[in-house]
Amino acid sequence: MADNNESRRAALNRGVWVAFMLAVLTFGEFLVGVIAPPWGTLLLVVAAFKAFFVITEYMHIGRLFSSDEEH
């Protein structure tokens, strides 16, 4: 039971850190968009980076490729 609680706490902690990182990156994208609009390529790279974290952390795509014993 304690192991399950630790696992949930770790997952929640990771989710909070990812949300914080996404907020910081979004604010950075806004600043780059306002200050230097020609840097569109940088904005696309950051958007792809953010999409990766949204897919892996919040959409739980990794669970599709893991066995039932790992849950």
Tokens of 35: 């200050």
The 10s digit of each residue's pLDDT in 2-57 is: 678 888 898 889 989 999 999 999 999 999 989 988 888 889 999 999 999 999 88
pTM, two decimals, is 0.76
Residue 44 · residue 1 · CB < 8 Å: no
Neighbour-count burial of 13, counting CB atoms closer than 10 A to its CB (0-12 exposed, 13-18 middle, 19+ buried)? exposed
Closest to 51 in 3D by CA, of 29, 35, 71, 36? 29
**Confidence band, pLDDT 50/70/90 cuts, at residue 66:** confident
Ranges of each domain in the chain: 2-70
Tokens of 33: 């968009």
pLDDT the model gives residue 69: 58
